[in-house]
Structure 1
Amino acid sequence: MQNEHLPTEELKKFGIINEDLSFSKKLNANDIQKFLQGYTIVADNDKNRATFQLVENNTKLKVIFLERDKSLSEILEKSKERIQYSETKVQYDVNENKHSAQLSFSKQAFVFDKDTNTVKELDFIKNAVELTKLVVGRKSPNEISQYQLELEKLKSFLYDKMDQYPEIAKAIAGDLNIVDKEISSISSISNTDWQVENDHRREVRFDVNDSDRYEDANRKREEEQEEELHRPRGRGR
């Protein structure tokens, strides 16, 4: 890894480093270290998102501009009430890699944590297991159903991309496997909850539907008791 050949002009252009070549104060030491190791820096501004990554032995900066389908401020505010979902797609790619630009798509969930008063952004593919665990942990049938619907929508999108880009079908298939696994996981939970709910409804309906039967039985017992009181009795010995 080379740090002495960093693309300083590009880094300064996007505010990642300052004129004196020091890194922006918005990045902590851990962020900087990860960035130099190939990790991606993400910058959000309302509906716009930009990702920055050092490539080719840290000599070039890969920049991708994306557009979110919703305003970030709106997402963060609404996430306090329930989990929010968003999609980002490439706006344009400065590296002019057309295939990458057309395929750069991601889907995220924004989950509000009441304990820390923060919002966690989770990717449907990269954070699949953690996201499913968080959704299920909230124990909300509506949110579980919505998550399942979002998974199905992502699955449909990926299938379309497989047909559109057969040359990378193997990579897309890997993402599909992840989505399918989470759909199976969430479906088993949903089906179990639905069965319990149905059982509960059957029990309630049974009580309601049989109320007349209970009243008839009580009325019959009362009539028998009335007849017993007025029935002539023989003399005892």
Structure 2
Amino acid sequence: MNTNTLPTDELKKYGIINEDLSFSKKLNADDIQKFLKGYTIVADNDKNRATFQLTDNNTQLKVIYLERDKNLPEILKNSKDRVEYTDIQKVSNKLSPEFSALEKKAFIFDKETSKVVEFDFIKNATELTAIIADKKDTEELNHYKNELLKLKSYLLEKIDQYPEIAKEITNDLSIVSREINSVNSIATSQKQISKADDSDIQLNVNDPDVYQDANQRRDDEQEHDEEVEKSRKFRR
């Protein structure tokens, strides 16, 4: 790996390295090593997101600007009470109208670590569905399904517009469709469990109707027994 040909001017411009060529203190040793191996650095600010990646044997810096439909402080605040969904898309460039994939994210508060964790609908699909299902919340499950359907609709629209990358879009579409099927299966199972719970007979002696019905049945049985006894005496 060649680190002597790093695009230092670009890296300085974006605050990734300092004037003395040391890396920003915002990056730990693991972050730096991953970055030098081709991993992406992500920087968030309100609705804006920028990603930085070294390419061409670490001689070029690839920068992508993205925009979120909600600002980050709002997302982090709301995600402590509920699952917060957001869309991120590359900032349009009129001079380069190439395909810009929509990234749909879910922000979930992890009670064990007291941190908000970001999940991608494509990259973390299976894990995200499992987390939503584990909440056993029908409303939340339906909300998640609606977000999946929105993403599916978007991908179906783009697959016709960009036939040159239809394969990549189809792969994403398969993942989304699989998760929608999983959600439908989970919803069906939860309904069956709910019906089973509803079928349990609950007797409450404090319920006047139930109590009166029980008394009436007891009186009827007692009257029936007396009639049977009288019949026996008469036959004697």
TM-score relative to the length of structure 2: 0.85
Tell me: CA distance 1:92–1:9, structure 2 relative to 1, closer, same or farther (3 Å): farther
Tell me: CA distance 1:219–1:186, structure 2 relative to 1, closer, same or farther (3 Å): same
Is 1:52 the counterpart of 2:49? The answer is: no
Alignment partners' CA distance in 2, 1:226 and 1:163 = 84
1:164 Cα shift?
1.4
In 2, are the aligned partners of 1:64 and 1:93 still within 8 Å (CA)? Answer: no
Alignment partners' CA distance in 2, 1:204 and 1:180 = 39
Alignment partners' CA distance in 2, 1:48 and 1:75 = 13
In 2, are the aligned partners of 1:66 and 1:91 still within 8 Å (CA)? Answer: yes
Deviations 1:117-170 (A, max 9, x none): 001101111111221222222232222222122111111111111011111111
In 2, are the aligned partners of 1:75 and 1:110 still within 8 Å (CA)? Answer: yes
Counterpart residue number, 2:97: 98
In 2, are the aligned partners of 1:65 and 1:92 still within 8 Å (CA)? Answer: no
Alignment of structure 1 residues 33-182 onto 2, 5 Å: 33-92=33-92, 97-99=96-98, 102-182=99-179
Which amino acid in structure 1 is aligned with residue 132 of structure 2? V
Q: Which runs of 5+ in 1 are unaligned?
A: 206-210
Q: Which runs of 5+ in 2 are unaligned?
A: 203-209
Alignment partners' CA distance in 1, 2:168 and 2:58 = 25
Alignment partners' CA distance in 2, 1:54 and 1:156 = 33
- The secondary structure found in structure 2 opposite 1:51 is strand
Alignment partners' CA distance in 1, 2:73 and 2:102 = 20
TM-score relative to the length of structure 1: 0.85
Alignment partners' CA distance in 2, 1:74 and 1:23 = 30
Alignment partners' CA distance in 1, 2:82 and 2:117 = 12
Alignment partners' CA distance in 2, 1:2 and 1:92 = 33
Report sequence identity in percent: 52
Alignment of structure 1 residues 177-192 onto 2, 5 Å: 177-192=174-189
- The secondary structure found in structure 1 opposite 2:88 is strand
Which amino acid in structure 2 is aligned with residue 108 of structure 1? K
- The secondary structure found in structure 2 opposite 1:103 is coil
1:178 Cα shift?
1.1
- The secondary structure found in structure 1 opposite 2:32 is helix
Which amino acid in structure 1 is aligned with residue 110 of structure 2? D
In 2, are the aligned partners of 1:63 and 1:93 still within 8 Å (CA)? Answer: no
Alignment partners' CA distance in 1, 2:149 and 2:127 = 18
- The secondary structure found in structure 2 opposite 1:233 is helix
1:198 Cα shift?
2.9
Deviations 1:50-105 (A, max 9, x none): 111111221111111111111111111111111111100112469x6431xx4132
Which amino acid in structure 1 is aligned with residue 10 of structure 2? E
Runs of 4+ that moved beyond 6 A:
211-216, 229-232
- The secondary structure found in structure 2 opposite 1:30 is helix
Aligned positions, number: 231
Alignment partners' CA distance in 2, 1:234 and 1:87 = 88
